[in-house]
Amino acid sequence: MRSDLMKKGLERAPHRSLFKAMGYTDEEISRPIIGVAHSHNEIIPGHIHLDRIVDAVKAGIRMAGGTPVAFGTIGVCDGIAMNHKGMKYSLASREVIADSVEIMAQAHPFDGLVLVPSCDKITPGMIMAMLRLNIPAVVVSGGPMLTGRHRGRDVHLVSVFEGVGRVKSGQMDESELCELESSACPGCGSCAGMFTANSMNCLAEAIGLALPGNGTVPAVSAARIRLAKHAGMAVMNLVERDIKPRDIATREAFENAMAVDMALGCSTNTVLHVPAIASEAGVDLPLDAFNEVSARTPHIASLIPGGPHSMQQLDEAGGVPAVLAELARGGCAVNLGVMTVTGRPLEENLEGVRICDPEIIRAVDDPYHREGGIAILRGNLAPDGAVVKQSAVAPEMMRHRGPARVYNSEEEAQEAILGGRIKEGDVVVIRYCGPRGGPGMPEMLSPTSAIIGMGLGKSVALLTDGRFSGGTQGACIGHVSPEAADGGPIALVHEGDIIAIDIPARTMTLEVDEAELEKRRSRWQPPAPNITSGYAARYAAMVTSGATGAVLKK
């Protein structure tokens, strides 16, 4: 056993003494020792209940003959960090989370790992560590929050962000907004909808690194506790059979995950996290792979925020297994032979699986859209690519041409939108918000929600070298690469320049001739960095492009 390095033999008597100081018995020490990495804290709704999930995981490990050892990591709540300096630390936290799990599992050689995240950067960070370490491991998340109810309709966190714009535009008064904020998030769990957290927890399941149900079983459900116990038992099977994460996370498995991504209309943040995870597995996953998979994968589930259906409804309809089974039935190139953390190939996991509600998960020959939920755009404004959640774009905005309204920070843009200075037809450009320029590639949920709340969602586009929350809807194009801080073309846009967006053609064009762009390029000077000390400054110095997953330089 790997843990023998810290517990077996005469020379490890001091090590065993330290275990015994914590109350471990000789029997417990002799068993496989399983690390349980979690991010329980009291600042993230998706993590407030993870202590219960961890207890269930530990019970499962003990039932299967192992000894669980829990330890914690940090976590950032993107919603609470949104639209202020805190958001500059959100994406950057992914690397700290991965590093902290690696440090713990190398300093204390566990025989296996169970990773218990729930939200945004924490899930991909833990999976990156899982693949970097490559010891038997299972992911089990805390599960999605239930949707709230407000005056007879389903609501969620993004409803509140959009409510700010509605108050500013006179469509809602402040008393109703107060009522909405009290009902939109009814309890624990990752925010209700196919936002980043739930997207990544579904994709962990689709890759095969989490058990069926991981992405959709509600946080408050007893089934979530049972799933956590099964995860604890599953890791013991993987330890016994020496099945490691890289045996599971192959190129074929990542293609399955991208297919589920397209079928569900997941967050654009998956285009950052999936390549970063693949990199840790030694799998090359270029941006163009997303377009290739999108072209052959229909969008068959229309989920909040781009559609009407909730995560709970997706779960009741059969969840990720039903989506995979339907894609396989429809000939959408699902790889059924890949191994999973059940210890069985995907094909066996899907035996007998069916769609339980064809209104929630449609057949591949009756999709919401013929192509998948995400598109990669290129052009003279984004030579290295940009990303849009096309399943959440209104039909009239799939092609758009309009004048640029240019802002060098999210705060400036937000003030202009809420101040009524953005008009129908405009293209809002928010730059110097990339991985280096932000730093940390801040999410733009506040301005995108403000556009919707101000009634401009079907007439205004927004593009940025930053990124978007999974809660964003509309013609919002992010990850524009190269970023402005690196002198990318987005840095050369002037107020009033015409920008043409053609999502079906996968293009985004700045209608300024090359000679003029060269003049502008010769005069361009990089701005002073926003943060000059501490972790964010170190991150900015080491981070790569959003087009490569914003991983750190090797």
Q: Please, what is the angle between helix 90-107 and helix 122-133, to 10°?
A: 30
Residue 108, classed as helix, strand or coil, is coil
Residue 314 near residue 360 (C-beta atoms within 8 A): yes
Strand-pair partners of 498: 403
Instruction: Give the residue from 302, 301, 297 showing the smallest Cα distance to 334.
Output: 297
Phi, psi angle pair for 305, to nearest 5°: -95, -15
At 470 the pLDDT is 79
At 169 the pLDDT is 87
- The tokens 């509140």 sit on which residue? 160
From 3, 90, 459, 469, the catalytic residue: 469
Q: Please, what is the angle between helix 445-453 and helix 410-418, to 10°?
A: 10
At 236 the pLDDT is 98
Residue 216, classed as helix, strand or coil, is coil
How confident is the prediction for the chain on average, in pLDDT?
A: 96
CA pair distance 214, 202, nearest whole angstrom: 7
C-alpha pair distances (Å), 133 with each of 5, 116, 137, 281: 16, 16, 10, 10
Q: End-to-end CA distance of the chain, in Å?
A: 31
Q: What is the mean pLDDT of residues 410-427?
A: 95
Q: Please, what is the angle between helix 122-133 and helix 270-280, to 10°?
A: 10
Least confident of 167-171, 402-406, 519-523: 167-171
Residue 319, classed as helix, strand or coil, is helix
Count other Cβ atoms within 10 Å, centred on residue 422: 22
Residue 76 near residue 86 (C-beta atoms within 8 A): yes
On the question of pLDDT at 417 being above 90, the answer is yes
pLDDT tens-place string over residues 181-227: 999 999 999 999 999 999 999 999 999 999 999 999 999 999 999 99
At 490 the pLDDT is 98
CA pair distance 414, 450, nearest whole angstrom: 7
Q: What is the mean pLDDT of residues 273-285?
A: 97
pLDDT tens-place string over residues 18-75: 999 999 999 999 999 999 999 999 999 999 999 999 999 999 999 999 999 999 999 9
Confidence of residue 473 (pLDDT cuts 50, 70, 90): confident
CA pair distance 36, 52, nearest whole angstrom: 13
Q: What is the mean pLDDT of residues 153-161?
A: 93
Say what the pTM is: 0.95
Confidence of residue 554 (pLDDT cuts 50, 70, 90): confident
HSE value, Cβ hemisphere, 13 Å, CA-based, for 422: 34
CA pair distance 143, 125, nearest whole angstrom: 17
Helix (H) or strand (E) holding 445: helix 445-453
Count other Cβ atoms within 10 Å, centred on residue 374: 26
pLDDT tens-place string over residues 495-517: 999 999 999 999 999 999 999 99
At 283 the pLDDT is 97
At 333 the pLDDT is 87
533 among known catalytic residues: no
At 83 the pLDDT is 86
On the question of pLDDT at 471 being above 80, the answer is no
Confidence of residue 306 (pLDDT cuts 50, 70, 90): confident
At 430 the pLDDT is 97
At 394 the pLDDT is 92
Query: 291-310 burial, b for 16+ CB within 10 Å, e for fewer?
Result: bebbeebbbbbbbbbbbebb
C-alpha pair distances (Å), 178 with each of 70, 150, 175, 189, 472: 39, 11, 5, 21, 22
Strand 137-139 versus strand 112-116 pairing type: parallel
Confidence of residue 534 (pLDDT cuts 50, 70, 90): very high
Q: What is the mean pLDDT of residues 86-92?
A: 96
